[in-house]
Structure 1
Amino acid sequence: MMMFSWRRRRATRRMARGGGGGSMTELTIPSHFLCPISLDLMKDPVTMSTGITYDRANIETWIEGGNFSCPFTNQPLHTIDSIPNHNIRKMIQAWCVENRAHGIERIPTPRVPASPVQVREILDKIAAAAGREDCEECKSMVEKIKILVQESERNKKCIIANGTGNVLSSAFEAFSKPERFEKRVEILEEILSTMAMIFPLQEEAIKHLKSEASMQALVWFVRGEDKSRRRSSILVLKEIISSYPEKVSELGEIQGVLEGVMKLIKEPICSSSKKASLFITYHAIASSSNQEGFTKAFLQMGLVSLLLETLIDAERSVCERALGVFDGICETKQGREEAYAHALTMPVIVKKILRVSDLATELSVSIVWKLVKHESREDEDEEDGGVKVEALQVGAFQKLLLLLQVGCSEWTKEKATELLKLLNNLHRERLECIDSLDFKDLKRTF
């Protein structure tokens, strides 16, 4: 039998207030109401083939962990199908009602989980409606899928496993035809928001989304003002570029996409949309087919300033992506010129060494190395000493020394060593020491 600790706390409070000095009976839960796995009150009791009743969430977690035996009897489960135990559930609900004076809330009647047959029936209707271009019927069926996804994680897994992504992406492509696009925005938005709930998408689904019509529609949503649409579309575009990086060139040629991506970096809707935008920006800049063109376009829109502003207080994953984009920019002469011209470049980048993650450190060293290595002789001879002196003044020399001591990858070690040689040629009296607090949390790797 299980004791409620809150019951004891209530008794203690009442006695402290002088409200009850007599004995109080502990409220207990009947043992057959408890899940044998968690020993908690069952909310959705189901019976397995061995005759033992468990809470649905607990036994499904057990099976998903690769266990195919009954956790209570250790007997093999001849089938992993479960049968809802309505009798036990009604008894638990009645017990909750009887004890509501003790603060017990009645457990709600659980919804019947989605079955593969039910999901496939809905998907067949979506495919048929898309085939005859019936927007209303298709929208109604997609809404049903969305409701099922939102109800439970179990439903979501069932929906994904039955090829929902492929059906939805095929319908999205069918309704993306430019001749009647604006009349189909609502159904496209419904499909888009539902797809964003079942990531990652399978390759078959992405094949439909990478078509010219689908990508044009996705960019239309990215360029719009509706935040939900913009978020869903940028996440889907990230899925496409993740599987087909070469499509970034085609994507970049669509009017307004670069401006839409930049807007999502500058005014992020959420962390995931900002990371997706940085991901697409990186692949555009790293594109071998039109690297200079994409880099020039992004630089003209102020990407360097935007990245530096982002890096100042970004979370780790965003910081890593922003540094990756900055590193890509520094591959080109024009990108390095923009970086040299910004007063925050060296202070912000050097600050990220040994402060965020191993990847962030590697990218930061790469950026500093590219800027120092490619600095022109004219810049070095300027009155302020150029980027090398600036790197020294913000503590790059000391950080690189410490990096070699605590350990790093061979590539980073090679670049850090070369940087130290380049920086060591300057007069040390021009240096400024860095704050030792930068290293207070560091631990050696040996």
Structure 2
Amino acid sequence: MALLARRAAMALLARRARRAATKAVSLGDSGVELAIPAHFRCPISLDLMKDPVTAPTGITYDRESIEAWLDTGHATCPVTHAPLRHEDLVPNHAIRRVIQDWCVANRSHGVERIPTPKIPVTPVQASELLFELAESARRGDAAVARCAEVVARVRELARDSERNRHCFASIGTGRALAAAFESLAAANGAPAGGILEDVLDALVSMVPLDEEAARILGSPCSLGSLIAIAEHGGLAGRMNAVMVIKEIVSWEGAFTDLTGKVDEVVDALVKVIRAPICPQATKASMVATYHLARFDERVASRLATAGLVPVLVEVLVDADKSMSEKALAVLEAVLASEEGRESARAHALAVPVLIKKMFRVSDLATELAVSAMWRLGRAPQDGEDNDAVTRCLVEALRVGAFQKLLLLLQVGCRDATKEKATELLKMLNKHKGVGECVDAVDFRGLNKIS
């Protein structure tokens, strides 16, 4: 049976190779169709090989294709079904040079010469670099220059290819970089720049970080440096610091080390959201603030008093899907606090924006908007202004909340959202005669459903 399977696979690949040999492709802007020689194509992808490697079976593949095959759980050669491992693949320099010569010869047809691939890093080489990194970081000021060189080399190799990044990640490079960051921060008194920003840049290449790395970075010394860089570092350093803080707070076990630094972390994150560096940093800050607010209602109160609610409402006005979902998630979490609800009820755009986002972004955004509106419309708790709650519900009626909630219940949603939508309808029904304004768009939706 195994022999028959191998023969069938070889026959299939042979047919594909013959089709590839006769298949003409259009290359460049000239519109000229040029047939790529069959032995230049990878047997898996049928594309021109850019980094040919040969298996012990004698079959040559493109490195990216065969490694993807092995990474998906296969442990055999696709053609012969003989056992195959990553370590068995050998670069085929001869066929690569022939392919490059062919590309040069057909340059006039728009064919670009494939670059000479870099040799992948091995686990042994990566381990040696990490050992040297640990030693130089431990020696502190005496070896800062060498530490910077090692960090730059790790960062360069990790970004050369996904294979290299995976190799570094598999041997715990994230933990090693986190330990180096902690050692350097302790030795240099938490500076906001220099070697620490270089280490952060390399750390970001290793995300997602594991819990041990997050705990190391969540120590008071490391966290102090991260906050300093997030507030006063260069643009790249600030973005990387925020992304690393997001990794820390994503692990619940790391929260125990944040107790004495929560206010500082909150201030740094709100500063990035209020004065954006780039979309990536803003989104990372929102994810971090979401985890912080969900972890402790006192943190949600602190975020509200830091002025985050008006900023989030303004972000939501013109945000794309990804930004809207994150901003709504943070807003819903902050509204769990009395200070958050008070701030939202006092903002003229808060209710209209929440109602607007109910059906215009995604299912997740709809659920978050309903939950946020439910928090705002609930019966006032001790110390809350009943008139403010009433004004909030009346405003929701005026911008079409009643019709949208009815439509949501007809279309269907999760049980938790359905319960909140039903409660909201009951709250709104008490004020229907005050100033309801019907949205024609919502009625068109209701007619379609019925």
One fold, TM greater than 0.5? yes
Q: 2:210 aligns with which of 202, 206, 215?
A: 202
The residue aligned with 1:105 is 112
- Using the size of structure 1 for normalisation, the TM-score is 0.86
1:84 has 2:91 as partner? yes
Alignment of 1:192-231 (within 5 A): 192-231=200-239
Corresponding residue SS for 2:61: strand
Conserved? CA contact 1:97–1:104, under 8 Å:
yes
Q: What's the offset of the Cα at 1:249?
A: 7.7
Corresponding residue SS for 2:194: helix
Range with bigger deviation, 225-234 or 267-276: 267-276
* Gapped regions of structure 2 (runs ≥ 5): 1-20
Corresponding residue SS for 1:176: helix
The residue aligned with 1:267 is 275
Conserved? CA contact 1:116–1:159, under 8 Å:
yes
1:74 has 2:81 as partner? yes
Q: What's the offset of the Cα at 1:84?
A: 0.8
Conserved? CA contact 1:219–1:254, under 8 Å:
no
Q: 2:149 aligns with which of 140, 144, 153?
A: 140
Q: What's the offset of the Cα at 1:375?
A: 4.5
The residue aligned with 1:310 is 315
1:167 has 2:176 as partner? yes
1:407 has 2:412 as partner? yes
Q: 1:227 to 1:151 in 2, by over 3 A?
A: same
Q: What's the offset of the Cα at 1:7?
A: 6.7
Q: What's the offset of the Cα at 1:240?
A: 0.8
Corresponding residue SS for 2:26: helix
Question: Which structure has more helix as a fraction of its residues?
Answer: 2
Cα RMSD for the two superposed structures: 3.0
Conserved? CA contact 1:222–1:231, under 8 Å:
yes
Conserved? CA contact 1:223–1:256, under 8 Å:
no
Report the AA paired with residue 63 of structure 1: L
The residue aligned with 1:20 is none
Number of residues paired by the alignment?
427
The residue aligned with 1:154 is 163
Q: 1:30 to 1:421 in 2, by over 3 A?
A: closer
* Gapped regions of structure 1 (runs ≥ 5): 13-25
Report the AA paired with residue 392 of structure 1: L
- Using the size of structure 2 for normalisation, the TM-score is 0.86
Q: What is the percentage of aligned positions where both structures have the same residue? A: 43
Conserved? CA contact 1:354–1:361, under 8 Å:
yes
Corresponding residue SS for 1:132: helix
The residue aligned with 2:4 is none
Q: 1:5 aligns with which of 25, 32, 42?
A: 25
Range with bigger deviation, 204-213 or 26-35: 26-35
Corresponding residue SS for 1:5: strand
The residue aligned with 1:177 is 186
Q: 1:338 to 1:181 in 2, by over 3 A?
A: closer
For 1:315 and 1:443, how far apart are their aligned partners in 2?
27
1:278 has 2:286 as partner? yes
Q: 2:52 aligns with which of 41, 45, 50?
A: 45
For 2:184 and 2:433, how far apart are their aligned partners in 1?
66
For 2:219 and 2:447, how far apart are their aligned partners in 1?
48
